[in-house]
Structure 1
């Protein structure tokens, strides 16, 4: 004798909800479609009926019917830099407010790896893509353009008219840091670069060199940290190993600047800022901690996120404007790592 199997649960449909709420099936669809229009009374009736019946909209089925997945692919190079976890969190929250789901993908800075990840993203039939701190090849840009998938670069830019980008004014940030260090009395000035191929690195160093030139100074020492903590430590050890060393150094981002300050103080026994002034870029929350109190150029993260989401929504909505490069202004935050008259 076989036991009776439990009956499969009956799937509640939008038609069931419509009948219970006394509205049309299309009204139910509008209530559960982000951005669609429905009166407050209709929304209340439909949601009450849906809750009573245990109804949940079938997102995948709706995507197949409309051709829109309501998914945004977000590609990030790495999350070690404190700037990017904050950016990913805020981008995700703001995109969710617009009714989109966010899939986060990790990629290295190599073109091949980015292309592999991008192909995977396209398999999800995403409605848009945000690339944070990574670039893409012209071939892949063409593919996205052909498919009608808008791409926005966040905190990175590249020469391709098909790609919109949102960045802070990296050049001006580097320029202001240079002038600040010279005005503080620095004469032997160094720079620790990020990844040489990154637009942020290129623009920050160009601004820094321009600012030094305007102030009648020049760059005497240069190292490369590739935006990595361990490589920044190694670059600092090499730059400050001898007696001929900088009395000020600009580090291309805060993540590396923290490593440099640790080396200067703990390994080399140097006083910051008494013997060496240190400045970074990004102004992540840890920069304000008493242990570092780092002078840093603050990127306008909130404004950058808002602009990125707005540009992406416009592109998804079929805005006729061509993709553009959006440059937002930041602010130099001066702390005790470069000022002798400030107590941490």
Structure 2
């Protein structure tokens, strides 16, 4: 049997009565093409079964139109929401996402090196990091790298976008103090992550500024099972806390379940529980979790903006962006006497 010859852009151009360059413009995101000509070209392409060969185009343009995204883990519902928003934002400007998972701890370089073999135009690392050596290699090859929800010193040419972790944790401390809490605990994330480091520093510093003793700190590792073990250590002790701040919602929900079902505690009557990220389950009535909301839409827009700017000017100085969030107040914590306001349908705490 003879093999059918692949349909080419020249075939589409001949049927539509336009030039081959016109066909190329019609299938290039952002390229200028008259609406009538675009309709004619797309109709011809449909009738012939034509699909642009993006691999062939990348050989000509030296751009794959692919952004590699490395995620440390997807158990935390913050990151699926980020991935969906990031994919939509990149697709809107003609890029596609190539997803990889990377270890949260240890050396992520081998996985990131795999991504680079796919000739991606840029890298977004969420809850993952890379060595200074590989950062230098990316910079030398013109591949911009943006850390999402992580921070960096910026001296390796890597850019970053994060929420204001330190200020958010400090606000949580002030909120709990204003609500009359005096025995506080902190369920920490990964010890070496910048998010955990900043949240722990902000929380402890704010408690000290209010004249309170340091919180009891137990490791949760950003993991549901570890957070349940941390809850057992806290609530089974002779002097359990009256408030627990968890370094993310994923752990806060585990601590809340342990408090209620394993230790018979009432939330918030016996213990207040607060998370960080304001993921979708935080608003579910069964949890009603008070949580510091990270501005996902703004963080994603900033990440895409950094990628596009660096692709246009590889020699531009690296930038580290920190975006403010808000403490969304629900039913998992005792309320302070003042400072609660409603904005855009959310009850938030804004101290005077």
Normalised-by-shorter TM-score class: over 0.9
Partner residue, 1:299:
294
* CA displacement at 1:74 relative to structure 2: 0.4
Partner residue, 1:178:
173
Find the aligned partners of 1:139 and 1:195 in 2 and give their Cα distance.
23
RMSD: 1.5
Partner residue, 1:251:
246
Partner residue, 1:110:
105
* CA displacement at 1:12 relative to structure 2: 1.2
Q: Deviations over 1:191-223 (max 9, x none)?
A: 111001111101111111122122222223110
After TM superposition, the structure 1 stretch with the greater mean CA deviation from structure 2, 313-322 or 44-53, is 313-322
Partner residue, 1:97:
92
CA contact (8 A) 2:245 2:275 kept: yes
Partner residue, 1:208:
203
Q: Deviations over 1:124-171 (max 9, x none)?
A: 000000001111100110110010000011111122331111111111
Q: Deviations over 1:44-89 (max 9, x none)?
A: 2211221122211111111112111111100000000010011111
After TM superposition, the structure 1 stretch with the greater mean CA deviation from structure 2, 202-211 or 36-45, is 36-45
Find the aligned partners of 2:69 and 2:320 in 1 and give their Cα distance.
19
* CA displacement at 1:317 relative to structure 2: 2.3
Which one of the candidate residues 284, 295, 314 is aligned to 1:289?
284
* CA displacement at 1:318 relative to structure 2: 2.4
Which one of the candidate residues 137, 140, 149 is aligned to 2:134?
140
Task: Find out whether 1:78 has 2:73 as its counterpart.
Answer: yes
Which one of the candidate residues 216, 219, 233 is aligned to 1:221?
216
Secondary structure (helix, strand or coil) at the match of 2:274 reads strand
Q: Deviations over 1:176-203 (max 9, x none)?
A: 0000000111011111110011111011
CA contact (8 A) 1:111 1:135 kept: no
Find the aligned partners of 1:245 and 1:188 in 2 and give their Cα distance.
8
Which one of the candidate residues 119, 125, 134 is aligned to 2:119?
125
Find the aligned partners of 1:241 and 1:259 in 2 and give their Cα distance.
16
Which one of the candidate residues 309, 327, 335 is aligned to 1:332?
327
Find the aligned partners of 2:215 and 2:280 in 1 and give their Cα distance.
30
1:22-37 equivalent positions in 2, closer than 5 A: 22-37=17-32
Task: Find out whether 1:165 has 2:160 as its counterpart.
Answer: yes
Find the aligned partners of 2:37 and 2:138 in 1 and give their Cα distance.
38
Partner residue, 2:349:
none
Partner residue, 1:260:
255
Which one of the candidate residues 1, 20, 36 is aligned to 2:15?
20
Find the aligned partners of 1:340 and 1:48 in 2 and give their Cα distance.
61
Secondary structure (helix, strand or coil) at the match of 1:326 reads strand
* CA displacement at 1:242 relative to structure 2: 1.8
Which one of the candidate residues 269, 273, 279 is aligned to 2:268?
273
After TM superposition, the structure 1 stretch with the greater mean CA deviation from structure 2, 29-38 or 124-133, is 29-38
Partner residue, 2:236:
241
Q: Deviations over 1:312-334 (max 9, x none)?
A: 11212226531201111100011
Q: How many residues align?
A: 336
Secondary structure (helix, strand or coil) at the match of 1:281 reads strand
CA contact (8 A) 1:77 1:109 kept: yes
Secondary structure (helix, strand or coil) at the match of 1:219 reads coil
Find the aligned partners of 2:89 and 2:326 in 1 and give their Cα distance.
23
CA contact (8 A) 2:204 2:215 kept: no
Find the aligned partners of 2:314 and 2:332 in 1 and give their Cα distance.
46
* CA displacement at 1:340 relative to structure 2: 6.1
Partner residue, 1:150:
144
Secondary structure (helix, strand or coil) at the match of 2:264 reads coil
Q: Deviations over 1:287-316 (max 9, x none)?
A: 111211111000011111111111111212
Find the aligned partners of 1:151 and 1:81 in 2 and give their Cα distance.
23
After TM superposition, the structure 1 stretch with the greater mean CA deviation from structure 2, 60-69 or 33-42, is 33-42
* CA displacement at 1:119 relative to structure 2: 1.1
After TM superposition, the structure 1 stretch with the greater mean CA deviation from structure 2, 318-327 or 328-337, is 318-327
Find the aligned partners of 1:110 and 1:269 in 2 and give their Cα distance.
34
